[in-house]
Amino acid sequence: MNFLAHIYLSGDNQKLMVGNFMGDFVKGSSFDHYDDLLVKGIWLHRAIDEYTDQHEVVHKSKDRLRAKYRHYSGVIVDVFYDHFLAKNWSDYHTTDLLTFTQNAYSILSNFKNIMPAKAQYVLPYMMDGNWLYHYAKTEGIHRSLSGMARRTKFNSKMDEAVNDLNDHYTEFESEFKLFFEDLKEFCSDWIAKELA
């Protein structure tokens, strides 16, 4: 899953959400200098990634892309799934997407000074371009994947992936909806156990 899903799946706990956002930018396991809830957020991020990588429905989505995009297929599916979360946002949250994203940016900004350098670098670009909100449109997904393609060492062709999204839109959306119900339940159980 990508940024929007990680933030959404953190629930209402701000520090858990910040840690979850930071998860992509924290390497290894030496992050005990962070607040306990931030650390739990980092572990939640990793639990989400591991659960996603092992889910049979996600494998189906990746397999549709694997011949062309190889190991980048997982990254692309993460972005596609964030698109479907944003597009169908009212099915998952009572707050409208624009308000939710603005609130999320405000919370993340309050913790920016304790984030890893790469997260501090990315956050202003995310806010200025309102990435989380623009995931709802295929144009926003294309911009996101094109940006990722520019940063890869090899020719990932991720900038072409929006064509695959459009060609198999119904299949990807159905797979997202099936998978996301399972993921929501997994995260709810994980958070209840860890914060008990």
**pLDDT at 4 (0 to 100):** 96
Both ends of the chain: CA-CA distance in Å?
25
* pLDDT at residue 32 in the model: 77
Instruction: Give the pLDDT score at 30.
Output: 76
Which portions of the chain are predicted below pLDDT 50?
Answer: none
Which pTM was predicted?
A: 0.94
pLDDT in the model for residue 1 = 80
CA distance 41 to 16: 4
DSSP per residue over the chain, as a string?
--HHHHHHTTTT-HHHHHHHHHGGG--SS--TTS-HHHHHHHHHHHHHHHHHHH-HHHHHHHHHHHHHHGGGHHHHHHHHHHHHHHHTGGGT-SS-HHHHHHHHHHHHHHTGGGS-HHHHHHHHHHHHTTHHHHTTSHHHHHHHHHHHHHHSSS---GGGHHHHHHHTHHHHHHHHHHHHHHHHHHHHHHHHHHT-
Percent of the chain with pLDDT over 90: 84
Per-residue pLDDT, 28: 81
Hey, where are the domains in the chain?
A: 18-24+34-194
